[in-house]
Structure 1
Amino acid sequence: MYLDKPLKEHNLLQAIARTNRTYEGKTYGLIVDYFGVSKFLEKALAIFSKQDIQGALLPIESELPKLKQAHRKAMSFFDYINRSDADACVQVLEPEDVRHEFEKAFKEFSKRMDMILPNPEASPYVEDLKFLGKVRQMAKTLYRDEQMDISECGEKVKQLIAEHLYAESVEVIHEPIDILSNKFDERLEKAPSKEAQAAEMEHAIRHEIKVKLEENPVYYTSLREKLEQLIEARRKKMMDIAELVEKLRSMVNDMRNVNQQAQNLGFTREQYPFYQLFQQILPDEEHKDAIDALTHLVTDIIAEESQVIDWVNKEDVKREMRKKIKKQLRASVIPKDQLENITQQIMSLAMVHYKR
């Protein structure tokens, strides 16, 4: 609010109260006092008790200690890092718990900065805000962390960071690039080093596993275990960076070919997770024909029973489906002591792939 005329008593207090009213995205009010009412605030509000008006209007200088503290907290994550090395700074934020703590510190600092800008008192902190905004954006892109959302920041801070990112040619990606698309290959080619390529693929694979684990628990759990083994081997220096990049590329290609692998075995994309579930239980080659047949029989039952609209929310339909699946499993080579567990896993897959 811009105050350019004399206000007092109820009018002044109501104006302050309206300005201080909070809502989502607004945590404070800012009054620019051109007239000088703030210099004789007690006199202007003389009809009220001091207790009633305490803290109603504070000078912006009172926020500076909070700004300084928030700045120190946010910058402390990079105390022992060469800040001109952006990749090294982004590496600091690789652990999810560290990113979470950094995000809290950054938002607190940006809130304080938005409160004080464009007051000259904020000037000493502007370059560090730009630095943090750049590192944060790079970390969000690399680690595909949707929690790192700048929408909660004030407009002044958002504009300042956006202009800096543009000037620095930092790519702002609002949606992660799909690991299965050709654009992901193009992104890898732009990576400045083998280490950067490995990091890009590692976190893209992690993201894909997180998103699709429910679709095919057997395949994506296996993929996650393989990824952890590779990262651990690299950490122990059991392989060089070039070998790690090659193996990660192989994993990416394998993920891209899942649907083709299903077709080669005679299954649809929806059927393949059921086949892999049965294969995990009976991996021996001698059971292959039986598993093939069981996959088709079970998915035929699911396809038939799932014709009912909104069946996933109808207990009677699910009960009948479960009953028919269990009957089919009893007549198969599946071990009898695993029937209940396997039936439940099949039902979970059915609700993902045959939901209508």
Structure 2
Amino acid sequence: VYQPRLERLHIKEDELRLFLEKVQGEDLTEIEKEKIENSVGQRLNYISVFLENEKRIREIAKDIANHFKENIDGRFKGMVVTGSRKACVLYKKYLDQYLPPEYSEVVMTFNLNDKEPIKSFYKNWEKRYLGLPDDEHRVEEIVESFKEKEFPKILIVTDMLITGFDAPILQTMYFDKLLKKHRLLQAIARVNRPYKDVKSVGLIIDYAGVLKNINTALRQYYKEDAQGIIVDFSALFETFKEIMGELEKIFSGIEFHFERESLISATDRLRSEKTEQEFIEKYKEARKLFEVLGAYSEKIEFLEKFKWFTAVYEYWIKLTTSEIEKEKVEKYFKKTIEIIHQEIGIQEIEKSLPQVTLNVDYLIKIQKSNLILEEKAVNMLFALEKLVLIHQRQNPIYKTIADQLEELVRRWKEREIEYKELFNEESKIIGFIEEKEQEREKLKFSQFEFGIFSILEIHLKEEKKSKLGEFVGEIVNMIKEDLIENWRENPTLRQNIERKLRDFALDLKKDYKLTYDEFDIFHKELASFINDYAEG
């Protein structure tokens, strides 16, 4: 995405035209300057002097610092592309006035005959990396730190790293240099690397004015390959508008206000997995564009709708996933977080969603709450689903209801069940879980012991709880001597436990007349449970 800033400081149009049309080299280097005719050379020297103007650089550095702090810092990183090595040094000097010195670092080549201010800068630059043998290793250290560590957050370059540099965390390029042909295209590509699922496009901020007619210029060399390689904010806004329109269609007929009834209606619309997936994908794309658009004024007309879609997304994610992507959102989508904090309706809804440990007590709390039936049923459904997902291997109680719950979820998504029936079925499941938890407490079993008890009860169908309790005690006492620290990493201990469990299960096979298949399933489930959850 292309954004011009401080346009009064851009290079004059006729000088730019000279560069783009008359200079034949791939780029403007000091050697090439000497080879071109004097009349052109004098004007190109003007451009070089212009790009090294200290007063101009100071003003741009202040703007870069403000933009970086407001839009990039803590989420992504930036690169300042300057017109010369001298300009690199000046940008570092003035960025240090507006940002902490550790925020930025220069990456460029140095020569023995360098003059001021490069000569003095090199001495200080070298001191910062005293433990490294040469400039090549210093550059490697800076680049690696940029990619993997917190600092530096901004690289200042002129020729180095413009091509062949891959750092997806690079989101914004502050451009104050004249490039053309494929080097310009390669520079743009540096900032367009996708990053996780929070960055799909990069931002190029132009202080030189070279990108004003970028697509026209690139098509001279690349024809269709350059189409849409870079767009301005108005084009990006058009894409944002299109996605917002597609989101509106998903919820057509629903009033976009922040009352609970509206969000419940939206939740009902998302029952279908296809619709759910479409909404999540489109909302995430809209959110990324909303962030990139920053303070672009025209997006204000969609602000209320975007707030509503954000509320729906937050509500749905908290209902359906065990962990909301809260940390990621707070880090990478600061402008979205700002509008959430501004909207009282969203805050109230967030407060009502689960902020406590997910357990049977929480399910009962929902069941007995004053929420409307539809909201109760949906909250209970997804809370149960999360609870089973978390506990089904650790606690066989939850495994026994997994299939039943999966069928309930399917029927709800396919609109085969009314909310009243759904609520009643969920209440039965909660009652079953509560009954089993009370039984565990009555037996004074740990979760691990009750897990063994439940497996025995399911497979042996023994009605006498006391008898099953005796078996639990025998199993625990039988294997406890082998359950030392890191027992799973000791083949001998694992074999001991496996043999003891098999012998015990064989005795029960005889006593309870189990078929071989019944015995095999019982033995494997018992062994698997102990392997996964026995301490040690």
TM-score (norm 1): 0.78
- Of 181-190 and 250-259, more deviation after overlay is shown by 181-190
How far does residue 83 in structure 1 lie from its aligned partner after superposition?
Answer: 3.9
Q: Which of residues 372, 376, 398 in structure 2 aligns to 1:193?
A: 372
1:144–1:176: 8 Å Cα contact kept in structure 2? no
Q: Which of residues 526, 529, 534 in structure 2 aligns to 1:346?
A: 526
Q: Which of residues 251, 258, 261 in structure 1 aligns to 2:439?
A: 261
What one-letter code is carried by the residue in structure 2 that aligns with 1:353?
A: Y
How far does residue 119 in structure 1 lie from its aligned partner after superposition?
Answer: 1.5
Q: Give the Cα–Cα distance (whole angstroms) in 1 for the partners of residues 304 and 310 of structure 2.
A: 10
2:393–2:399: 8 Å Cα contact kept in structure 1? no
Deviation digits for residues 262-314 of structure 1, max 9, x if unmatched? 242353321112121121122253x655533322222222322212x222233
Matched, 1:115 2:292: yes
Q: Give the Cα–Cα distance (whole angstroms) in 1 for the partners of residues 215 and 422 of structure 2.
A: 69
Q: Give the Cα–Cα distance (whole angstroms) in 2 for the partners of residues 155 and 179 of structure 1.
A: 28
- Of 8-17 and 298-307, more deviation after overlay is shown by 8-17
Q: Which of residues 246, 249, 259 in structure 2 aligns to 1:76?
A: 249
What one-letter code is carried by the residue in structure 2 that aligns with 1:177?
A: V
2:341–2:347: 8 Å Cα contact kept in structure 1? no
What one-letter code is carried by the residue in structure 2 that aligns with 1:125?
A: F
1:70–1:109: 8 Å Cα contact kept in structure 2? yes
| Residue aligning to 2:430 | 252
Q: Which of residues 227, 235, 239 in structure 2 aligns to 1:62?
A: 235
Matched, 1:317 2:501: no
Structure of greater Rg: 2
SS in 2 for 1:171: helix
- Structure 1 residues without counterparts, runs of 5 or longer: none
Q: Give the Cα–Cα distance (whole angstroms) in 1 for the partners of residues 447 and 207 of structure 2.
A: 68
Q: CA RMSD in A?
A: 4.0
- Structure 2 residues without counterparts, runs of 5 or longer: 17-26, 29-82, 84-176
How far does residue 197 in structure 1 lie from its aligned partner after superposition?
Answer: 2.1
How far does residue 326 in structure 1 lie from its aligned partner after superposition?
Answer: 0.7
1:279–1:291: 8 Å Cα contact kept in structure 2? yes
Matched, 1:129 2:302: no
**Number of positions where the alignment pairs a residue of Structure 1 with one of Structure 2:** 348
1:179–1:205: 8 Å Cα contact kept in structure 2? no
| Residue aligning to 1:206 | 385
2:192–2:201: 8 Å Cα contact kept in structure 1? yes
TM-score (norm 2): 0.54
Report the CA distance shift for 1:142/1:165 in structure 2 as closer, same or farther (over 3 A).
farther
Q: Give the Cα–Cα distance (whole angstroms) in 2 for the partners of residues 182 and 284 of structure 1.
A: 29
Q: Give the Cα–Cα distance (whole angstroms) in 2 for the partners of residues 224 and 183 of structure 1.
A: 18
Q: Give the Cα–Cα distance (whole angstroms) in 2 for the partners of residues 331 and 182 of structure 1.
A: 39
Q: Give the Cα–Cα distance (whole angstroms) in 2 for the partners of residues 349 and 18 of structure 1.
A: 51
What one-letter code is carried by the residue in structure 1 that aligns with 2:252?
A: D
What one-letter code is carried by the residue in structure 2 that aligns with 1:115?
A: V
How far does residue 236 in structure 1 lie from its aligned partner after superposition?
Answer: 5.4
How far does residue 74 in structure 1 lie from its aligned partner after superposition?
Answer: 2.5
Higher relative contact order (CA 8 A, sep 6+): 2
Report the CA distance shift for 1:81/1:247 in structure 2 as closer, same or farther (over 3 A).
same
Deviation digits for residues 40-89 of structure 1, max 9, x if unmatched? 6599x89x973399466432223244323322332332124444422111
Q: Which of residues 502, 507, 520 in structure 2 aligns to 1:331?
A: 507
Q: Give the Cα–Cα distance (whole angstroms) in 2 for the partners of residues 206 and 197 of structure 1.
A: 14
Report the CA distance shift for 1:346/1:186 in structure 2 as closer, same or farther (over 3 A).
closer
1:213–1:220: 8 Å Cα contact kept in structure 2? yes
| Residue aligning to 2:473 | 296
Q: Which of residues 13, 23, 27 in structure 1 aligns to 2:200?
A: 27
Deviation digits for residues 168-207 of structure 1, max 9, x if unmatched? 6231589753343766666666643133223222221221
SS in 2 for 1:209: helix
How far does residue 257 in structure 1 lie from its aligned partner after superposition?
Answer: 5.5
Report the CA distance shift for 1:342/1:167 in structure 2 as closer, same or farther (over 3 A).
closer
Report the CA distance shift for 1:97/1:39 in structure 2 as closer, same or farther (over 3 A).
closer
Q: Give the Cα–Cα distance (whole angstroms) in 1 for the partners of residues 476 and 270 of structure 2.
A: 44
Q: Give the Cα–Cα distance (whole angstroms) in 2 for the partners of residues 348 and 90 of structure 1.
A: 38
What one-letter code is carried by the residue in structure 1 that aligns with 2:234?
A: E
Percent identity (aligned): 16
Report the CA distance shift for 1:2/1:312 in structure 2 as closer, same or farther (over 3 A).
farther
| Residue aligning to 1:50 | 221
Q: Give the Cα–Cα distance (whole angstroms) in 1 for the partners of residues 215 and 416 of structure 2.
A: 65
